[in-house]
């Protein structure tokens, strides 16, 4: 269901709280006050949105490099084997995105792990079991990563108060002492009146320490944002494409900064080249239909002055897997129990 077809409260809760979610003792009451509603209704609405899949969680999006290693990979898979190979990719611990794309390299996935060796070992095993060789495309530098989706498509620039992408490239890593809290941030807030109290109880610390740590992470870029993580495909933003460019190395950082500032660009980053893949500058555009996405891509490339460089646009097909990055999943058993969630409901 598109956002415009939803009740007014749904629209507010989905669109306006993807960042700057309150860190107060009763955050859902704060959201309710701002939305002209009440806490009970807001809690019930978020539970429904989670259950139906419009929201994946209320939690954090990590900055680059804060919890381990991540790598984009691509496989050229015979069409008859695509579903089977995609299933094998999905089964790999650490894979959070796995998409079909329109290209000879037709299966693209992101894999995360605690270090680069772990990530490469997982890809090695996949190659051994499938007989396919992967493009391995580590990130060199981010210019813009996951600033949230403007579901109303009215925002043309970074959210007021956000640092420009070029000013916040990598976040401060998560300290070992804070990794259990990081696991909870990945799992998402329990939908209850005092969710930070539940986290504090699980960790055996004070609620104030939880809030102070989250505030520090946001200030340091450890967290890019903290708020509602929507499933944009289920809210009418069903078309997306990855565009790649081959830009001279000495010019790519300036080009990336210009691209990151263009309307409609949701992700922008530099990656290592591969002997079979010469492209080093990547950006993503999402929209309601293919024509709108193509228009945004053409405008972004033109306005950034990059029309002379070789480029390809790969539209997405089947979405085999999409979850948030999970660097701390091994510690996730510290999360509040299901019983706590059910009691809150």
**What is the rounded CA–CA span in Å between residue 164 and residue 171?**
14
pLDDT of the residue at 69? 85
Do 277 and 135 touch, CB atoms closer than 8 A? yes
pTM of the model: 0.78
pLDDT of the residue at 231? 83
Per residue in 248-262, pLDDT tens?
Answer: 999 999 999 999 999
Tell me the average pLDDT across 287-300.
Answer: 93
Q: 123 versus 1: which is more confidently predicted? A: 123
Domains with residue ranges and CATH for the chain: 3-64+153-232+327-344 (1.10.10.2890), 69-149+237-322 (3.30.70.3460)
Distances (CA, A) of 117 to 96, 114, 132, 160, 311: 18, 9, 19, 39, 31
pLDDT of the residue at 48? 96
Distances (CA, A) of 122 to 89, 110, 118, 127, 264: 10, 12, 6, 9, 33
Do 118 and 202 touch, CB atoms closer than 8 A? no
- Gyration radius of the chain's alpha carbons: 20
As a whole-number percent, the residues of the chain with pLDDT over 90 amount to 70
Tell me the average pLDDT across 105-109.
Answer: 98
Tell me the average pLDDT across 7-12.
Answer: 93
Is the pLDDT assigned to residue 327 strictly greater than 80?
A: no
pLDDT of the residue at 72? 96
Tell me the average pLDDT across 266-285.
Answer: 96
Is the pLDDT assigned to residue 109 strictly greater than 80?
A: yes
pLDDT of the residue at 153? 53
Is the pLDDT assigned to residue 217 strictly greater than 80?
A: yes
Mean of per-residue pLDDT scores for the chain? 87
Question: Per the structure block, which two tokens stand in for 58?
Answer: 């209320």
Is the pLDDT assigned to residue 342 strictly greater than 50?
A: no
pLDDT of the residue at 79? 96
> Counting Cβ atoms within 10 Å, is residue 149 exposed (0-12), middle (13-18) or buried (19+)?
buried
DSSP string, 100-165: EESSSS-EEEEEEESSHHHHHHHHHHHHHHH--PPEEEEEEEEEE------TT----SSPTTPPPG
Is the pLDDT assigned to residue 113 strictly greater than 90?
A: no
Is the pLDDT assigned to residue 198 strictly greater than 50?
A: yes
**What is the rounded CA–CA span in Å between residue 17 and residue 134?**
38
pLDDT of the residue at 236? 59
User: Considering only 1-10, 13-22, 253-262, which range has the smallest mean pLDDT?
Assistant: 1-10
């Amino acid at each position: 269901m598109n956002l415009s077809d939803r009740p007014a409260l749904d629209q507010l809760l989905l669109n306006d709280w993807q960042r700057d979610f309150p860190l107060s003792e009763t955050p859902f009451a704060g959201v309710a006050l701002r939305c002209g509603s009440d806490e009970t209704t807001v809690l019930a609405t978020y539970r429904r949105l989670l259950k139906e899949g419009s929201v994946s969680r209320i939690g954090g999006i990590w900055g680059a490099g804060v919890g381990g290693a991540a790598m984009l990979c691509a496989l050229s898979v015979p069409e008859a084997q695509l579903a089977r190979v995609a299933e094998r990719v999905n089964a790999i611990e650490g894979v959070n995105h796995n998409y079909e794309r329109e290209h000879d390299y037709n299966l693209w996935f992101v894999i995360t792990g605690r270090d680069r060796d772990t990530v490469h070992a997982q890809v090695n095993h996949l190659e051994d079991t499938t007989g396919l060789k992967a493009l391995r495309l580590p990130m060199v530098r981010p210019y813009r990563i996951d600033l949230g989706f403007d579901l109303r498509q009215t925002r043309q620039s970074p959210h007021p108060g956000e640092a420009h992408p070029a000013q916040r490239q990598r976040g401060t890593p998560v300290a070992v002492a804070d990794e259990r809290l990081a696991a909870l941030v990945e799992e998402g807030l329990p939908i209850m009146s005092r969710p930070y109290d539940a986290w504090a109880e699980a960790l055996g610390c004070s609620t104030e320490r939880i809030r102070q740590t989250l505030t520090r992470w946001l200030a340091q870029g450890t967290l890019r944002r903290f708020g509602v993580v929507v499933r944009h495909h289920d809210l009418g933003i069903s078309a997306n494409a990855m565009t790649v460019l081959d830009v001279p190395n000495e010019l790519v950082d300036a080009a990336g900064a210009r691209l990151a500032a263009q309307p409609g660009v949701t992700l922008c980053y530099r990656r290592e080249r591969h002997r079979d893949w010469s492209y080093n500058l990547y950006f993503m555009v999402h929209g309601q239909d293919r024509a709108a996405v193509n228009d945004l891509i053409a405008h972004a490339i033109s306005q950034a002055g990059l029309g002379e460089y070789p480029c390809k646009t790969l539209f997405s097909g089947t979405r085999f897997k999409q979850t948030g990055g999970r660097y701390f999943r091994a510690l996730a058993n510290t999360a509040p129990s299901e019983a706590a969630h059910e009691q809150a409901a």
